[in-house]
Amino acid sequence: MMKGVFLDRKTFNPDIDTQGIASQLTDYREFAMTQAEQVQERIAGVEVVITNKVVISREHMKACPELKLICVAATGTNNVDLEAAEALGIAVCNVANYGTSTVAQHVITLLLMLATNAANYDRDVKRGKWQQSDIFCLLDHPIVELSGKTLGLIGVGNIANSVAQAATGLGMKVVFGERKGATSLRIGRVSFETLVQQSDAISIHCPLNEQTADLFNADTLSAMKPSAFLINCARGGIVNEHDLVAALKQKEIAGAALDVASVEPIREDNPLLSYKGNNLIITPHSAWASAEAMQRLIDDIGVSIESYRQSESYSRVV
C-alpha cells in the first residue's frame, strides 16, 4: 500500500465520494487547496499525488524521490512537467471521457441561449419590460432557428461527437474541420478556412498548444459570417479575448459563449468583463462539473491507482 495526497480537493463538490481513492492508499490526506509554496512540503515522502490544477514541476519531483505516481484529476496535463516525470520514472495518469455528456450538454445549452436570447428575455421580464408591452409578447431580441443551420466543430473526439449528435437532433448540419494550415484533408473533414467561412455556429473542442493558441484571432473572426456564433468550452487561450471583444463590438460575429478564460479564475482586467453588449455569455469553467461527471472522474482515479499497484509500469495519459 502507498501514501497519497489530494492537493486541491476543493475543486470537487464536498459530497463527491473519494473512498475509491482512499481504499487504495494506506495513508491518504486531502487538502482543500495548495499554494505553490506549499507543494513541496505536502508531497514530501508521498508516493501518489493527486492534483487537479496545482502545478507539479521538475523541481518538485526531483526533491521527492519517493514519488511514484501523479494522478491528474482532469483531462489536461499542462500542470505537470511530463518530460521530467518520464525522465525520473514517475508515472502520470489523467482522466478522459468522464464529462462527455455533461460538456456536450453545456455546449448545446450555450448554443440554444445564443439562438433564443433566453438570458436577455429572462432579464427583461424580471425588469418589468414584458409587463409594459402593448402586445401579448416581447420581441426585443432576435431569435434564430437552428434547424437547417451549419455547426462547425474544431477538434474531433468524444465530446465533439456527442455535440454533433445533439446538434443533428436539432436539425443542424454538422461539419468537422481540418487543422489550420493542413495541406490535405482527412476523410469527413473540411478545411479550417471553409469551416470558418461557412458555419453558422462554431464550437471548439481541441487542446491548447502552440498550434491552437490564438487560433481564433482578428483574422479568423473577421472571416466568420456576421450572423455566426462562437462557442468555446475547451481552453481560454484558443480564442484571443481582445480580438473577440473587438469582433463583437464591430458586429463581425453575432455572438459568443465561453466557459473558459485565458487566466482562471477570470481576472478583473479581462477585456471580456468590460464588454457591455448582450451577445456574450460567460460561464465559470463549469461545463464539466455535473455531480455525475465529478464522481466518474474520482472513481477513475481510484482505478488508475489500483492499476498502478498491480503493475508499476502502468502509466496512462490520453
157-166 pLDDT per residue, tens: 999 999 999 9
pLDDT of residue 312: 65
123-153: per-residue pLDDT in tens? 999 999 999 999 999 999 999 999 999 999 9
- Residue 53 in this model has a pLDDT that exceeds 70: yes
For 196, counting Cβ atoms within 10 Å of its Cβ (0-12 exposed, 13-18 middle, 19+ buried), the class is: buried
Q: Which helix (H) or strand (E) holds 112?
A: helix 100-116
Report percent pLDDT > 70 for the chain. 98
Three-state SS for 111? helix
Q: Which residues contact 248 (CB under 8 A, 6 or more apart)?
A: 255, 256, 275, 277, 279, 280
- Residue 59 in this model has a pLDDT that exceeds 90: yes
Mean pLDDT of 213-238: 97
Provide the grid cell at 36: 505553490
Output the pTM of the full model: 0.91
- Residue 314 in this model has a pLDDT that exceeds 70: no
Question: What is the CATH code of the structural domain delimited by 2-98+291-310?
Answer: 3.40.50.720
pLDDT of residue 207: 87
Residue 265: cis peptide before it, omega within 30 degrees of 0: yes
- CA–CA distances in Å: residue 140 to residues 28, 133, 135, 236: 56, 10, 12, 31
pLDDT of residue 196: 98
2-98+291-310 shares its CATH topology with 100-282: yes
Q: Give the confidence band of 313 by pLDDT, cuts at 50, 70, 90.
A: low
Residue numbers annotated as active site: 235, 264, 285
pLDDT of residue 315: 62
DSSP states along 231-282: EE-S-GGGB-HHHHHHHHHTTSSSEEEES--SSSSPPTT-HHHH---SSEEE
Three-state SS for 55? coil
26-35: per-residue pLDDT in tens? 999 999 999 9
234-287: per-residue pLDDT in tens? 999 999 999 999 999 999 999 999 999 999 999 999 999 999 999 999 999 999
3-state helix, strand, coil in the chain (%, to 5): 35, 15, 45
Q: Calculate helix-pair angle for 100-116, 158-169, nearest 10 degrees.
A: 40
The whole-angstrom distance between residue 161's C-alpha and the CA centroid of its chain comes to: 15
Domain boundaries, the chain: 2-98+291-310, 100-282
DSSP states along 1-40: -EEEEETTGGGS-TTS--HHHHTTEEEEEE-S---GGGHH
The rounded distance, in Å, linking the Cα atoms of 1 and 97 is 28
Provide the grid cell at 19: 473512498
Q: Give the confidence band of 316 by pLDDT, cuts at 50, 70, 90.
A: low
Please give the CATH topology (third level) of the domain spanning 100-282: Rossmann fold (3.40.50)
184-196: per-residue pLDDT in tens? 999 989 999 999 9
